[in-house]
Amino acid sequence: MEKEKPIGVFDSGIGGLTVVKRLSSVLPRESIVYFGDTARVPYGSKSNSTVIDYSIQDSAFLLKKNVKAVVVACNTASSIAIPELRKKFDVPVIGVILPGADMAVKETRNKRIGVIGTRATINNQAYSKAIKEIDNKIEVFEKACPLFVPIAEEGWTHHRATYEIAEEYLKELREKNIDTLVLGCTHYPILADVIQEIIGKGVKLIDSGIATAEVVRNEIDRIGLETNSAVPGNLDLYVSDIPTTFKKVAELFLGKNVNEVVKVDIEELHKI
């Protein structure tokens, strides 16, 4: 039964659980298989070819779990690997960049949008290209904020250091008179309170996970693969390593308790 297959989601680590959280609230009856590449995180500082190789392996693992669609929760992988994944796999592959860009374009009034993300996402200008493709009159101001990833994993959602680092990263953007800011990294929604306070209350924050969940719903509806199940879907979690802080961080990202997590050897699976 195609309809009863789960939706696959992968990320470089556990940050993608922020996207799973959004998906589960939009599509509560769909089952989800999540793969977090915790042994090889971060992707945000790796070369494009490495990110593409890893993304192909991560997707191939999800396909082995019989998923009906692949959601690339990782902004870095979404900004680099989507064309390759679409070439290689014949299920819908949905990234977070286009939905996030689209939502930002709908939201801005003054046509000045800020984007924050990992170095790779910002260096690839993934969001600014996507935004300008929709409306080339919009000005986009991008800033890499690499320290936000370890801070979110540390659970420092309202720590003094978080305010200081956010102040340092966001001061340039504050001077650009933006009215919309894209949180272009899986981890950043965890730090939304601090980011909002520092960038200013008048700036609308865009959580790409929310936008992506809507796109996934529309896509599986369009292809007629929405589940018929009447009960809440399962969440199966797979990772390539189980860090000591996994449970704490996963629960912070997901906002609820997590069950058993299964470790897989992602490189072994792809050896010929």
* Interface contacts to ligand DGL, rule CB under 6 A: 11-13, 15, 41-44, 74-76, 118, 121, 149, 185-187
Q: Which is nearer to ligand DGL, 22 or 187 (CB)?
A: 187
Q: Does 185 participate in catalysis according to the annotation?
A: yes
Kindly state the smallest distance separating residue 16's Cβ from ligand DGL, in Å.
Answer: 6
| Residue nearest ligand DGL (C-beta atom) | 44
Angle at Cα 253 formed by Cα 14 and Cα 102, nearest 5°?
Answer: 85
Q: Is 217 exposed, middle or buried (0-12, 13-18, 19+ CB in 10 A)?
A: middle
Q: How far apart are CA 45 and CA 168, in angstroms?
A: 20
Kindly state the smallest distance separating residue 127's Cβ from ligand DGL, in Å.
Answer: 11
Kindly state the smallest distance separating residue 33's Cβ from ligand DGL, in Å.
Answer: 17
DSSP 244-260: TTHHHHHHHHHSS----
Q: Which is nearer to ligand DGL, 149 or 249 (CB)?
A: 149
Q: Which is nearer to ligand DGL, 41 or 98 (CB)?
A: 41
Both tokens assigned to 54: 């890893």
CA nearest to 17, candidates 144, 126, 147, 152:
152
Both tokens assigned to 16: 């993608």
Kindly state the smallest distance separating residue 78's Cβ from ligand DGL, in Å.
Answer: 8
Any residues with CB less than 8 A from the CB of 183 and at least 6 apart, and which? 116, 189, 192, 195, 205, 206, 207, 208
Q: Which is nearer to ligand DGL, 37 or 227 (CB)?
A: 37
Q: Does 74 participate in catalysis according to the annotation?
A: yes
Place of tokens 């792809």: 270
Q: Which is nearer to ligand DGL, 123 or 229 (CB)?
A: 123
Q: Which is nearer to ligand DGL, 225 or 238 (CB)?
A: 238
Kindly state the smallest distance separating residue 122's Cβ from ligand DGL, in Å.
Answer: 10
Kindly state the smallest distance separating residue 2's Cβ from ligand DGL, in Å.
Answer: 29
CA nearest to 8, candidates 71, 92, 84, 51:
71
Catalytic residue among 103, 185, 205, 249: 185
DSSP 208-255: HHHHHHHHHHHHHHHTT------SPPPEEEEES---TTHHHHHHHHHS
Catalytic residue among 7, 9, 52, 74: 74
CB 31 within 8 A of CB 68: no
Q: Phi and psi (nearest 5°) for 13?
A: -160, -130
Q: Which residues are catalytic?
A: 74, 185
